[in-house]
Structure 1
Amino acid sequence: MVTLKVDNPGLPEQLALVDYRRCVAELYASVREGPGDPEVRWQHYRAGREHLFASHPQSPLSPAQQAHFHGLEYFPYDPALRFAVPLDTAVDAADFTLELRDDGPVRMRRCGRVNINIENQPVSLSLFWILGYGGGLFLPFRDQTNSHETYGGGRYLLDTIKHADLGQEGDRLVLDFNYAYNPSCAYNERWQCPLAPVENRLPVAVRAGEHAYPSETARGSPGTPPAR
């Protein structure tokens, strides 16, 4: 397992951001490649993520929030909410445009769909490809815990641009809701985040992954859902 640390908190902002993303990439790689019980690997992921939030200069938290940070809350680990599923690419490859305050228009394209069962109910989720330089897979979702137990704007399950990626088992994509995490705008209003479109709003409660950040649940959803 990788032990994450902040080597130089005085780095210039751009290098600090590169360092943060490198740490995230190493953290997910350690989950994918690490031996042992899946719950132990998940606990390692939690500890690494909390370390970055508490100490890294590119944490989603402001310095004032970091000074009072006491950890992130999660639902108990549920092995039934880990899936290795085929990606159905026979979908309408529609494009969506998202306007972000600082980054301008961000375009993404529906590129596939996964079908799973949660609480004995069949549900499906669309995957999107972020268009532009490099690109990447993106899977945001909402569910019936939002605005109560979890952040009102929903959570992310996969974002390969930011290295949030649990990999594959053969030709099957690994999606583990125990790793569902909040977008940065759930912690601090300086961030703008792409949120799940209507088709990724699940009719079930997904009680796995990260809870709403304390005091943030009632603040609303400052992120932006994509528009056609």
Structure 2
Amino acid sequence: MKNFLFVIVCLFVLCVSAQEKKLLTSKEYQDNLNKEFADSISSPLEKEDLKHFEKLDFYPISDKFIVEATFVKIKKGKVFEMRTTTSRKPKYKVYGLLRFQIDGKDFELFVYQSQDLMKKKEYEDYLFLPFTDYTNGVESYGAGRYIDFTIPKTSKVIIDFNKAYNPYCAYNKKYSCPIVPEENDLKIEIKAGVKKYHD
């Protein structure tokens, strides 16, 4: 029951502000994230870490990692149970595909729709965009990072990797967090967004 409550809290914090955060600049987003972590009410940090918290460690903001992507909605996307850091297996639907370039090389990421959240009006446009890359376990959190995303209104969208953040499990093991599907592993170093919290 405790794990369930922490999951709900985690999803609420991420989803309720997804659209708002999407409109922020990279710097504004990172500043807001620092404020959330410093606030004892919204912070996922353990009590001892919160006492000493000053700010998260980010890569320098880089325009290289703000990319235009082509969004393709997947018709009849499969529904599957996504693995998490606990025994929980929430159902997600493969909603769409994002195709983009970095340094002239082609990449793609799948976006997913929570089958539970889509039933709630306030979250019906929320999509889940997790990814891993070559920085994981070296400079960034080993299990990958997330980016807030909503259902696009056009086929051209912007992915700002400077807004990539760690799942709450990177800070506190009491949370149950989705594990990034293997298909969303980027064969490149994404030196943008939040770095790992503890060395």
Determine if the TM-score, normalized by the shorter chain, exceeds 0.5.
yes
Aligned counterparts, 1:49-64, within 5 A: 49-64=33-48
How far apart are the structure 2 equivalents of 1:126 and 1:185?
22
Matched, 1:210 2:194: yes
Q: Deviation of residue 100 (structure 1)?
A: 5.2
Matched, 1:172 2:156: yes
Give CA deviations for 1:172-206 in whole Å, capped at 9, x if unaligned: 22211010110000111111210211100111111
1:117–1:123 contact (8 Å) kept in structure 2: yes
Matched, 1:21 2:13: yes
2:88–2:176 contact (8 Å) kept in structure 1: no
Q: Runs of 5+ in structure 1 lacking a partner?
A: 1-12, 35-40, 161-166, 216-228
Matched, 1:141 2:125: no
2:65–2:102 contact (8 Å) kept in structure 1: yes
Give CA deviations for 1:97-116 in whole Å, capped at 9, x if unaligned: 03558894310011111111
2:77–2:94 contact (8 Å) kept in structure 1: yes
1:84–1:168 contact (8 Å) kept in structure 2: no
Partner SS, residue 157 of structure 2:
strand
Given the two structures, how large is their TM-score scaled by the length of structure 2?
A: 0.80
Q: Deviation of residue 61 (structure 1)?
A: 0.4
Q: Which residue matches 1:89?
A: 73
Taking a change above 3 Å as real, the CA distance of residues 90 and 21 of structure 1, as seen in their structure-2 partners, is: closer
Residues 130-139 or 94-103, more deviating: 94-103
- Supply the AA of the counterpart residue of 1:21: V
Taking a change above 3 Å as real, the CA distance of residues 187 and 77 of structure 1, as seen in their structure-2 partners, is: same
Q: Deviation of residue 159 (structure 1)?
A: 5.0
Q: Runs of 5+ in structure 2 lacking a partner?
A: none
Give CA deviations for 1:98-149 in whole Å, capped at 9, x if unaligned: 3558894310011111111123221111111111233531110000000001
- Supply the AA of the counterpart residue of 2:112: F
- Supply the AA of the counterpart residue of 2:143: G
How far apart are the structure 2 equivalents of 1:153 and 1:22?
18
Provide the aligned length of Structure 1 versus Structure 2.
Answer: 186
Given the two structures, how large is their TM-score scaled by the length of structure 1?
A: 0.70
Taking a change above 3 Å as real, the CA distance of residues 143 and 92 of structure 1, as seen in their structure-2 partners, is: farther
Taking a change above 3 Å as real, the CA distance of residues 159 and 191 of structure 1, as seen in their structure-2 partners, is: farther
Higher RCO, 1 vs 2 (CA within 8 Å, ≥6 residues apart): 2
Bigger Rg, structure 1 or 2: 1
Taking a change above 3 Å as real, the CA distance of residues 64 and 31 of structure 1, as seen in their structure-2 partners, is: same
Of 3, 25, 31, the match for 1:47: 31
How far apart are the structure 1 equivalents of 2:152 and 2:177?
26
